[in-house]
Amino acid sequence: MRIFNDLSTLPKAENTILTLGIFDGVHLGHKKIIEKLKKKSAVLNCRNIVITFSPHPRNVISENGNIMLLTTIEEKIKLFEEIGIENLLIINFTKEFSQLSSEMFFKEYIIEKIGIKEIIVGYDHHFGKGRSGDVNTLRKMGVEFGFDVTTVEPFKINDEAVNSTKIRKALSEGNIKVANSFLGREFSFGGTVVEGDKRGRQLGFPTANIRIDNDEKLLPSLGIYAVEFLFDNEKYKGLLSIGIRPTFYNSGEIVPEVYLYDFNRDIYNKKITVKIIDWVRGEEKFPSAEALVEQMQKDKIKGLEIFKKAS
């Protein structure tokens, strides 16, 4: 896959089939659009291009605080590559860029600089300043400039349309199974193992504290989760705690840490990936360290049961 961060390095070609969007999550709805793009480009012998934006537009123009990301730009790049996209254009989304009208954006970027034979978008696609452009806008420009417009209906699971908002909601509620089913894979995050206070080791449950790679990356609600831990091209089973550790602390700082089954390696300062398999329980404050250890033993058993069912 060729990655372009600057339009000046992307050759113009009229035999281009493209799609564009934020694609946060690269979920099953997005994949349906991208698979259509790949098939069409193969049949018509055209190059295919996915156009996305970074940072997330809402984090540039919103006055109500940042939206947390289902996928960082690095994660999106990896997922697009796995899907088999030929070309990826990442447009730097700025306040100045956000002021372009839908027509101006399309003419200046797509028509004049990239070239287009066909565009494939979701049925409810919007673009341009104030999201004023839609499928009807595209169809009018298609007539004017001579390109086709194909829309793709939503991907549905049990008659429910998959979208990023619903995945965020599921994660905020700890509903990992729903989030994973909509994503079409396990929700994951990357980070670096950092040194903690070693309290877990003192309790007989040594944990790896994780510093998340991107501060804008969304994490599920506070609680305990069964996870797959990826390090050095190997997979390990573990339990993830996302919480403020109320039994021992009152700082309110949220700390992700992972207990690994049958693991005894030095991984400080190493890059890792955590894939979340299922929810185990919510975070609790225990009256004593002994009560916490007793619950952790139960969590360990429940985690193993989850892995057994998942295998």
Helical residues (DSSP H) of 13-148, grouped into ranges: 28-43, 57-61, 73-83, 95-98, 102-105, 135-145
- Gyration radius from the chain CA atoms: 22
Calculate the alpha carbon distances from 205 to 201, 264, 271 in Å: 5, 12, 21
Give yes or no for residue 202 having a pLDDT over 80.
no
- CA dist 191 to 23, 266, 272, 277, Å? 22, 16, 6, 17
Backbone angles phi, psi at 164, to 5 degrees: -65, -35
**Considering only CA atoms, which of 211, 203, 201 is closest in space to residue 263?**
201
Please check the confidence at residue 64 and state whether its pLDDT lies above 80. no
pLDDT digits (tens, 9 = 90+) for 46-57: 999 999 999 999
**Mean pLDDT lowest for which of 123-137, 202-216, 282-296?**
202-216
SS3 of the chain: helix, strand, coil, percent, to 5 = 35, 30, 35
- C-alpha to C-alpha distance for 113 and 102, rounded to whole angstroms: 16
Percent of the chain with pLDDT over 90: 80
pLDDT at res. 199: 64
Backbone φ and ψ of 156, nearest 5° = -120, 145
Beta bridge partners of 192: 211, 271
User: Can you give the pLDDT at residue 43?
Assistant: 96
Cβ atoms of 120 and 40 closer than 8 Å: yes
pLDDT at 158: 94
Is residue 111 domain-shared with residue 259, that is, in the same domain?
no
In this structure, the answer to whether residues 6 and 154 fall within a common structural domain is yes
Residue 220 inside a domain? The answer is yes
**Host H or E run for residue 223:** strand 223-231
Above 80 in pLDDT, residue 250?
A: no
Q: Do 116 and 191 share a domain, yes or no?
A: no
pLDDT score for 245: 80
Same domain, 60 and 16: yes
Asked whether residue 179 is domain-assigned, the answer is: no
pLDDT of residue 311: 76
Say whether the peptide bond before residue 246 is cis (omega within 30 degrees of 0).
no
Predicted TM-score of the model (pTM): 0.93
Q: Is there a single domain that holds both residue 210 and residue 88? A: no
The C-alpha atoms of residue 293 and residue 200 are separated, in whole angstroms, by: 10
Q: How far apart are CA 34 and CA 18, in angstroms?
A: 9
Q: Judge whether 131 lies within some domain.
A: yes
Which tens digit of pLDDT belongs to each residue from 131-180? 889 999 999 999 999 999 999 999 999 999 999 999 999 999 999 999 99
pLDDT of residue 19: 98
Q: Are residues 12 and 134 in the same domain?
A: yes
If asked whether residues 130 and 216 sit together in one domain, one would say no
Return the structure tokens found at 168: 């965020």
DSSP summary character for residue 287: S
Smallest Cα–Cα separation from 72: which of 61, 64, 63, 80?
A: 80
Q: Which domain holds residue 7?
A: 2-161
State the average pLDDT over residues 102-120. 96
Count: domains in the chain: 2
Domain shared by 11 and 157, yes or no = yes
Q: In this structure, are 111 and 32 located in the same domain?
A: yes
